[in-house]
Chains A and B, each alone.
Chain A
């Protein structure tokens, strides 16, 4: 006959054993709960920050896929230009894999008001083709975005302030024309936008593509074709199709264009895993101590159970069950606490007092935590697995007591 200890009884026994020393258990459960809540909260904040950084950066010059002339990315001048798409390229752009596309110009330029001059990035675009999630969704605080045939420019509020000018005034834009000569134009400020980051407001100036083509003396030319795919998971296929069509063109995905952001996003799970493990290691000492003490206080009882016929493996399972109950309680309370904290901050945290610091890392001064269910499972999973791993040694020790030595221990 082999001893049976059904799971329900094992867990019931674990539950009662847990509350023998209620103060110690409460402290340990509390520590676990705080750690789990802190991990989840911190992860959500990190995700929120990264999400915001990517949104901000991708909105500046969006497109899942961008086509340029080779060399443009190293030297974004008008020398690296191409004609507006036609023929097979146009057919592919209007094909099934592409949700929408647009042609743009983007060159370095000087802007000057009556009082100040600044270096900027001048972007020519076709407003009617840009769609959603683009820079034209930034908050316009004055005036209008340009129409397709508009001649005016839209500047950021910060730049407006630096130039010491205002809406409706004329500014002078100077760059290099397609013929290699100085190209300049006087343009009226028709709109002022507010971006989340002041550095973008100061740098990016927008105008309609035809007006910019005219200024650069390069009618019908563009430097960039921005493609928005229908299915982002099939972006590699779309990229490969366009590469076959334009073998000499430089065709890059957004993650290739912004490799820093892409690396951050790719490594986020690894960073989170390391964070959870490091935080847990600090907890592990307390957990192991709690378990060792709990076993040390019950040596006689463990000896009795062995004497009555419980097998060493079942003793080990009993200790593991106690750890599991302890962990589940800590995790459940921690999850609830993190849930409440994140729920209360769902509209974002105002960090405008630290706006400059956040701008340096390309994030907005308002941080909205981003909760992902997989972070919850990962955090709970790692804590459970490591917690059980921590209890293996105490469980092994308990299972290997000699019944007689345990029974007669003082």
Chain B
């Protein structure tokens, strides 16, 4: 069976102030389809770098990376964009919404690019707004929403098209505990019901509560990788 993600000897270096920083240092790991992984570790440990590499946003200096059996090394920017659009949902550390679009339009943007017709787009966006607790706020622009509300819109945008892989970077960072719980429950439901693979980078213990595998990183290396048992 093809892995959702396959990483082999991934290396990524950054140069900062004359120093070389190992963002990723010979990272090896596989993710089976339908897994729910919590990627944790201190700040600067390489979590975001790994998510960006898996999402094809950044190219590793060496090593192989494949998503859904497709090697990213061989794809150009256009093909990577196609892959992201078809298979990957992103939740970024900062909310990263398009400021001139309303909350609903931000959610619909992915569906629009996928060529989904208007009626279906509106229906899916309204459902998504309801699921993330933003019913009635769809017409508001990002500047008219709180940080937590913006993060929920970003999450809704990431999952509205039912991607096979969701890469989330600190999705609960700006949410109150109740909303964070709701959001993670939504992720878990999508994971269970649709087999969506989740890789969530987070310090939040609530994420670990929903995840079924924990990967801990430090200095660009995976130092811990084990299943999580829940009662």
Q: Which chain A residues have a beta carbon within 8 Å of chain B's beta carbons?
A: 1-6, 9, 13, 16-17, 20, 300-301, 304-313, 402-404, 407
Contact = CB atoms under 8 A, between A and B. Distances in A.
B99 A306 contact: no
A209 to B, nearest CB: 78
A9 B112 CA distance: 9
A405 to B, nearest CB: 9
B96 interface: yes
The contact size tier of chain B is 20 to 34
28 contacts: A1-B82, A1-B85, A1-B86, A1-B114, A3-B85, A3-B113, A3-B114, A4-B112, A4-B114, A5-B112, A16-B101, A17-B100, A20-B100, A301-B99, A304-B96, A304-B98, A307-B90, A308-B84, A308-B110, A309-B81, A309-B82, A309-B86, A309-B113, A310-B81, A311-B77, A311-B81, A311-B82, A312-B81
A312 B77 contact: yes
A407 B84 CA distance: 15
Given A9-B112, A403-B57, A404-B57, A300 B81 contact: no
A16 B100 contact: yes
B36 interface: no
Contact of A311 (B57, B78, B112): B78
B205 interface: no
A165 B110 CA distance: 90
Contacts of B86: 1, 309
Given A9-B112, A306-B77, A403-B57, 5 more contacts: A4-B112, A307-B57, A307-B90, A308-B110, A308-B157
B77 A5 contact: no
A342 to B, nearest CB: 37
A401 to B, nearest CB: 10
B55 A2 contact: no
Nearest to A1: B86
A310 B113 contact: yes
A26 B48 CA distance: 40
A5 B114 CA distance: 9
A404 B84 contact: no
- Return the 6 tightest CB-CB contacts between A and B, nearest first: A309-B85, A1-B86, A16-B100, A3-B113, A404-B58, A404-B57
B84 A309 contact: yes
A294 B90 CA distance: 25
B92 interface: yes
Contacts of B82: 1-3, 309, 311
B115 interface: yes
A4 B109 CA distance: 10
B93 to A, nearest CB: 9
A234 B55 CA distance: 71
A300 B96 contact: yes
Contacts of B110: 308-309
B57 A308 contact: no
Given A3-B85, A9-B112, A404-B57, A308 B100 contact: no
Nearest to A400: B77
A3 B81 contact: yes
A296 to B, nearest CB: 15
Given A1-B82, A307-B57, A311-B81, A301 B112 contact: no
Contacts of B62: none
A308 B58 contact: no
Contacts of A304: 92, 96, 98
B218 interface: no
A305 B112 CA distance: 12
B207 to A, nearest CB: 22
A306 B100 contact: no
Contact of B90 (A5, A9, A308): A308
A309 B110 CA distance: 8
B174 interface: no
B84 to A, nearest CB: 5
Contact of A307 (B84, B100, B101, B112): B84
Given A17-B100, A404-B58, A306 B112 contact: no
A301 B52 CA distance: 16
A403 to B, nearest CB: 5
B115 A4 contact: yes
Interface string B150-184: 00000001000000000000000000000000000
A403 B84 CA distance: 12
